[in-house]
C-alpha cells in the first residue's frame, strides 16, 4: 500500500517536540492509502466543495481529495462533509503546486479535476495562472498513475481557456480528447458553474489524456 498522508504537528505539552505521524480519520482509523480504494481522485482548487461533495456521494467506493488554498472555502467544504456524514473525501488547505511537488508520491492518482481556476485577468497577475506555473503540468503528470489517465478542465474565461488548451497541445504527454465540448464530469456541476450558467456565461470544458509511461 502506498501511504501518502502523514500529519506534522506540535506537541501540546512539550514545546520542542513535533510529531510526524500517519493521519487518522475521526474514528481513529488511518486515512485510506491510495492503493486501498478502486479510484483515488484529486480536485485542484475545490472551492466550497460542490463537486467534491457530490462526487463522494455518487462514488462511495472511491476517495476524493480536494486541495484548496482559501481557508474559508476549505472550512465550508468540511462543514458540508460533516453535515452529510461523508467519509470518503478530504480537504487539505494549501497551495496545490507545493502539495504535489513535496508530498504526493508518483503514480498514485487515477484522475485529476480542475474547474474554474482563478483566471488572473490583469496582465501583471497572469504569472499566477496555475496552468502556466513552471513545472505544474509535469507534477500533474508525475502523480497520475501510469498509463492513460484523464485531466478534466473547465473555465468560463475565454482567454485563459485558450492559453490552457495551447499549453496542453504543446505538452509532450498530453492529448486533448474533448476540446471545449465536454459535459459536466459524471453529470456534476461545480459551484461556480451553477452560478456562471445562471449568469448566461459560456462554459468551456475539455478532457485531456495525460499518457504517463511506466
Ligand X SMILES: C[S@@+](CC[C@H](N)C(=O)[O-])C[C@H]1O[C@@H](n2cnc3c(N)ncnc32)[C@H](O)[C@@H]1O
List residues near ligand X by CB under 6 A. 45-47, 50, 67-70, 73, 95-97, 115-118, 130, 190-193
Give the shortest CB-205-to-ligand X separation in angstroms: 11
Residue 10 or 127 with smaller CB distance to ligand X: 127
Residues 168, 174: contact at Cβ < 8 Å? yes
Distance CA 139, CA 96 (A): 10
Minimum separation from the CB atom of position 116 to ligand X (A): 4
Catalytically annotated residues: 118
Closest distance to ligand X from the beta carbon of 58 (Å): 16
Rg, Å, the chain Cα set? 18
Around Cβ 18, how many Cβ atoms within 10 Å? 10
Locus of grid cell 460533516: 82
CB of 44: closest distance to ligand X in angstroms?
A: 6
CB nearer to ligand X: pick between 36 and 125: 125
SS3 for 45-98 is CCCCCHHHHHHHHHCCCCEEEEEECCHHHHHHHHHHHHHHCCCCEEEEECCHHH
Q: Which is nearer to ligand X, 88 or 155 (CB)?
A: 155
- Residue number, 96 or 141, with CB nearest to ligand X: 96
Amino acid at each position: 500500500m502506498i501511504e501518502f498522508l502523514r500529519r506534522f504537528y506540535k506537541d501540546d505539552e512539550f514545546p520542542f517536540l513535533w510529531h510526524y505521524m500517519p493521519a487518522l480519520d475521526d474514528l481513529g482509523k488511518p486515512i485510506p492509502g491510495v492503493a486501498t480504494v478502486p479510484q483515488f481522485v484529486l480536485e485542484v482548487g475545490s472551492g466550497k466543495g460542490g463537486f467534491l461533495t457530490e462526487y463522494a456521494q455518487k462514488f462511495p467506493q472511491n476517495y476524493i481529495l480536494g486541495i484548496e488554498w482559501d481557508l474559508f472555502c476549505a472550512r465550508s467544504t468540511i462543514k458540508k462533509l460533516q453535515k452529510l456524514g461523508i467519509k470518503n473525501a478530504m480537504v487539505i488547505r494549501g497551495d496545490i503546486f507545493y502539495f504535489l511537488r513535496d508530498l504526493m508520491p508518483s503514480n498514485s492518482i487515477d484522475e485529476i479535476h480542475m474547474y474554474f481556476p482563478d483566471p488572473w485577468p490583469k496582465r501583471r497577475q497572469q504569472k499566477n495562472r496555475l496552468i502556466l506555473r513552471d513545472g505544474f503540468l509535469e507534477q500533474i503528470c508525475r502523480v497520475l498513475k501510469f498509463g492513460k489517465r484523464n485531466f478534466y478542465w473547465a473555465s468560463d474565461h475565454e482567454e485563459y481557456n485558450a492559453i490552457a488548451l495551447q499549453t496542453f497541445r504543446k505538452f509532450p504527454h498530453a492529448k486533448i480528447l474533448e476540446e471545449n465540448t465536454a459535459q459536466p464530469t459524471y453529470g456534476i456541476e461545480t459551484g461556480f458553474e451553477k452560478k456562471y450558467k445562471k449568469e448566461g456565461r459560456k462554459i468551456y470544458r475539455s478532457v485531456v489524456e495525460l499518457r504517463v509511461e511506466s
